Amino acid sequence: MSSSHLIGSVALIGIGATAVMDAWLVLLSRLGVPTAGFAMVGRWVGNMRRGQFAHAAIAKAPPVRNELGLGWLTHYVIGIAFAALLVTVQGGAWLEQPTFLPALAVGVATVAAPWFVMQPAMGSGVLASKTPSPLKNCLRNLANHSVFGAGLYVAAAALSKAAT
């Protein structure tokens, strides 16, 4: 497999898996389950340019221009990076015959990013410890990232099938 084909496949799988996660978040939202918006992710990333990487409360941080768009872009770039992690760990042959468990395992492992990096940096604490419902938030994060893992498999399987 050429490197450009590999990069394209990884990008499509990351985009597909992130879209599956987004569909899940829309469903949850329609069922009345609170979901995080991506504007605050954009605000966090945008404020990094100003040298501020951590905030007591991201909602009180100075807004940045186009923070919602920046948040969505960041969300999809991270999804592509996690797809690259999966393919790096499993090898390029996994793309031709994707299997569910490795994709789910990577999806579950990616929950470490919000728990130990994003939430603390945005003022919610490690494992959402500074929120009113830390356990509920952590379980919701775990469910969302499990759906992302399932999306990694679904996107890879669809891509593999389309290639045959």
**CA angle 159–78–149, rounded 5-degree value:** 50
Return the amino acid letter for 143.
Answer: A
Residue 18, pLDDT score: 98
The DSSP code sequence of the chain is --HHHHHHHHHHHHHHHHHHHHHHHHHHHHTT-----SHHHHHHHHHHTTT----S-GGGSPP-TTHHHHHHHHHHHHHHHHHHHHHHHH-THHHHS--HHHHHHHHHHTTHHIIIIIHHHHTS-GGGTTSS-HHHHHHHHHHHHHHHHHHHHHHHHHHHHHH-
Confidence (pLDDT) at 36: 82
Instruction: Give the residue extent of every domain in the chain.
Output: 3-35+80-163
pLDDT, position 164: 79
- Full pLDDT tens readout for the chain, 164 residues: 789 999 999 999 999 999 999 999 999 999 999 888 899 999 999 999 999 999 999 999 999 999 999 999 999 999 999 999 999 999 999 999 999 999 999 999 999 999 999 999 999 999 999 999 999 999 999 999 999 999 999 999 999 999 87
How far apart CA 164 and CA 161 sit, in angstroms, is 5
Count of CB atoms situated within 10 Å of the CB of 1: 10
State residue 1's pLDDT score: 75
Tens of pLDDT, residue by residue over 67-85, are 999 999 999 999 999 999 9
Query: Rounded CA gap, 116 and 57, in Å?
Result: 16
d(CA 17, CA 46): 24
